[in-house]
A and B are shown apart, each in its own frame.
Chain A
Amino acid sequence: NAGVMQNPRHLVRRRGQEARLRCSPMKGHSHVYWYRQLPEEGLKFMVYLQKENIIDESGMPKERFSAEFPKEGPSILRIQQVVRGDSAAYFCASSRMGGTMNTEAFFGQGTRLTVV
C-alpha cells in the first residue's frame, strides 16, 4: 500500500559507514515492523515498535543495529559500520493494531541497501 513510505529506495554505502533507513507509517497507524529480505530468502522479522517504545527486537542483530520510532517523525532503522552481509532489502510495515491483534500489515516499497 502506497501509504507506507520508505526512503531512500536505494542506498549504497561503503564498508564501515552508517546506513539510516526511514519509514513513515500509514496515517492512523502507530505500530511499525521492520523486516529484512536477504537474496533468495523470505522476509525475516527484525523489530516491532510502537511510538517511542521497542516492543519486540528479537530479530534484530545484537550489534550495530538499532531502531527507533519517536513521538514525532518517521521510524528509523540504523545500521552502524555496515558490512557486505548487510546488503539486503529492508521492508517496513505498519498496522493500526499490533502484536497478536495484528489483522493486516501494510508494507512499504522497501529500501535496497548495497554495501560496497
Chain B
Amino acid sequence: AQSVSQHNHHVILSEAASLELGCNYSYGGTVNLFWYVQYPGQHLQLLLKYFSGDPLVKGIKGFEAEFIKSKFSFNLRKPSVQWSDTAEYFCAVIPITGANNLFFGTGTRLTVIP
C-alpha cells in the first residue's frame, strides 16, 4: 500500500534559519508529488508540486523541493524562514495510475521564533 512518511513532527527554528523537512513515500510506480501548507485556522494551500522534468521545483514564498527518485524522497527546503512561515506542512503523493486520491503524510508542525 502507498504510504507517505514525514520524519519530523515538530520543528522549531529561529528566524533566518534554514529549513529542510523530510518526506519519503513508498510506491513502486510513478507519482505526482505535492507539498501543502496549513496556516493556523486556515485551509490547506498548495506550496509546490512535481509532475515531471527538473527535479528541483520552486514554489511560492521562497520554498523549493527536490525530488530524488532513487531515494523516494521529496524534501522541502527554504534558505531563510520567517515568523510567518509558522504552520503545518503536509507532503502528499498521488500515483499517476490506479488512484483517485492524495495520500498525505502526518504533517510537520513548524514554529518559527522571532
Contacts and interface: CB of A to CB of B under 8 A. Distances in A.
Interface residues of B, number: 28
Contacts of A59: 101
A103 B51 contact: yes
A65 interface: no
Interface stretch (A14-22, A41-49, A76-84): A41-49
A100 B100 contact: yes
Contacts of A40: 106
A110 B102 CA distance: 16
Interface residues of A, number: 29
Given A42-B90, A42-B105, A104-B49, A4 B43 contact: yes
Interface of B: 4, 6, 32, 34, 36, 42-46, 49, 51, 90, 92, 94-107
Interface of A: 1-2, 4, 33, 35, 40-45, 48, 55-56, 59, 91, 93, 98-100, 102-110
